A = this chain, B = another copy of it.
């Protein structure tokens, strides 16, 4: 995989804000702090030499589970023909804090974000600060996850070119000091197209680009019939799913609006790639066989 990370994408891409986290952080209080301890990563500016540890990072890959992120790091090692010193193995850098698991292979870090917007929110705040403290140059952020497909079969790879919230707006509503602050869920459209161009006709799955609907729940929030509660009927669900389809939505998941809003706010190039584990127009239950795609 070759991506144009060398140019300062966050400065040159019109869709992104005009400042780069390399030399700027949008919080004046951070500059006044003697120490910044990134609690959920277990890393701090006084306890760790963050530029030495992370200064070379070019790609920040985030995804749901710790094991998947470890597997991904091992895959990158294999693809990059990276070799570790004899008698060593990949180690979870942030495991001591017990919240997220992070692996590093050359200029790539792979971190799990758990499930849902609040969980990925904590991670992104601390990763963005980590990139700033480490003086990283123009890192690209990619969420690599799973999703329900909408009109596409299980196994389809979906690259997001936009994210809609429950009001069908392309924004995430933050609740800050009693106010609602809506921030745009913009992704880097050029990066999405660049990623799409890497798909191959010989792949045994299809790769599509489209809009993502972000829900705050797996069951009622995604119109499933199989949660602990369900006060609507199959017909209501299908009407809603078809309405989403008509709006250009091709997949549904639970972290995209926070991911898109915070990376855009930070001025970093960002993309979301998800594997569909089923087609929601065909059903709700994810059976164990589908875990092959997980």
Contacts and interface: CB of A to CB of B under 8 A. Distances in A.
A47 B286 CA distance: 14
A37 B218 contact: no
Contacts of A25: 228
Interface string A118-154: 1101101110110010000000000000000000000
Nearest to A100: B115
B122 A27 contact: no
A74 interface: no
Contacts of A22: none
Contacts of A116: 114-119, 121-122
B230 A28 contact: yes
A216 interface: yes
B128 A115 contact: no
- Interface size for chain A: under 10, 10 to 19, 20 to 34, or 35 or more residues? 35 or more
A125 B218 contact: yes
A177 interface: yes
A51 interface: no
A27 B227 contact: yes
B266 A29 contact: no
B118 A254 contact: yes
B99 A65 contact: yes
A119 B129 contact: no
B226 A36 contact: yes
Interface stretch (A2-10, A201-209, A232-240): A232-240
Interface string A80-119: 0000000000000000011100000000000000111111
Contact of A29 (B225, B287, B291): B225
A228 B39 contact: no
Given A118-B118, A119-B118, A228-B129, A39 B285 contact: yes
B121 A119 contact: no
Most buried by B among A66, A117, A178, A225: A178
Contacts of A288: 37, 42, 44, 47
A118 B117 CA distance: 7
Given A98-B68, A114-B114, A229-B26, A121 B217 contact: yes
A221 interface: yes
27 contacts: A27-B230, A33-B285, A35-B285, A37-B285, A37-B287, A40-B218, A47-B288, A67-B98, A97-B291, A114-B115, A114-B119, A115-B118, A116-B116, A116-B122, A118-B118, A118-B216, A118-B217, A118-B218, A118-B254, A125-B227, A125-B228, A174-B221, A175-B217, A177-B237, A178-B243, A181-B220, A229-B266
Given A39-B285, A125-B227, 12 more contacts: A27-B226, A27-B228, A68-B98, A97-B291, A115-B122, A118-B216, A119-B119, A121-B219, A128-B228, A174-B220, A176-B220, A178-B243
